[in-house]
Amino acid sequence: MKDLGQRIDFHIHSIFSDGNLLPAAIAREAEVKGHSAIAITDHVDASNLEQVLEGLTKFVKLQGKSIPIKVIPGVEISYLRPDIIEEYAKKARKLGAKIIIVHGESPVEPVILGTNHTAVRLKGLVDILAHPGNNLTLEDAKVAALNGIYLELSSRKGHLTGNKHVAEIARAAGAKLLVNTDSHDEKDLLTQEGALQIALDAGLTEEEAIRVIKDNPQELLKRFQ
Residues forming contacts to Zn ion in the complex (CB under 5 A) are 13, 18, 76, 182
| Residue 184 C-beta: closest distance to Zn ion, Å | 6
The rounded Cα 98 to chain-centroid distance in angstroms is 12
Shorter beta-carbon distance to Zn ion: residue 64 or 158: 158
**Cβ distance to Zn ion smaller for residue 182 or 188:** 182
Residue 7 or 13 having the CB closest to Zn ion: 13
- Cα gap 181→152, rounded to integer Å: 9
Q: How many residues does the chain have?
A: 225
Using Cβ positions, the residue closest to Zn ion within the complex turns out to be 182
How far is it, in rounded angstroms, from Cα 151 to Cα 88?
20
Q: Which of 145, 164, 146 is nearest to 154 (CA)?
A: 164
Q: Shortest Cβ distance from residue 100 to Zn ion (Å)?
A: 13
CA distance 23 to 96: 16
Q: State in angstroms the smallest separation of the CB of 79 from Zn ion.
A: 11
CB atoms within 10 A of CB 205: 11
The neighbour count for residue 84, using CB atoms within 10 Å, is 14
Closer to Zn ion by CB, 156 or 210: give it.
Answer: 156
Q: Which is nearer to Zn ion, 16 or 210 (CB)?
A: 16
Q: Smaller CB distance to Zn ion: residue 9 or 182?
A: 182
Give the nearest distance from C-beta 130 to Zn ion in angstroms.
Answer: 6
Beta-carbon neighbour count of residue 42 at 10 Å?
Answer: 27
214 CB contacts (<8 Å, ≥6 apart)? 4, 5, 192
User: How far apart, in whole angstroms, are the C-alpha atoms of residue 144 and residue 122?
Assistant: 9
Q: Which helix (H) or strand (E) holds 76?
A: strand 70-77
Q: Smallest gap, in angstroms, from Cβ of residue 11 to Zn ion?
A: 6
CB 14, min distance to Zn ion, A:
10
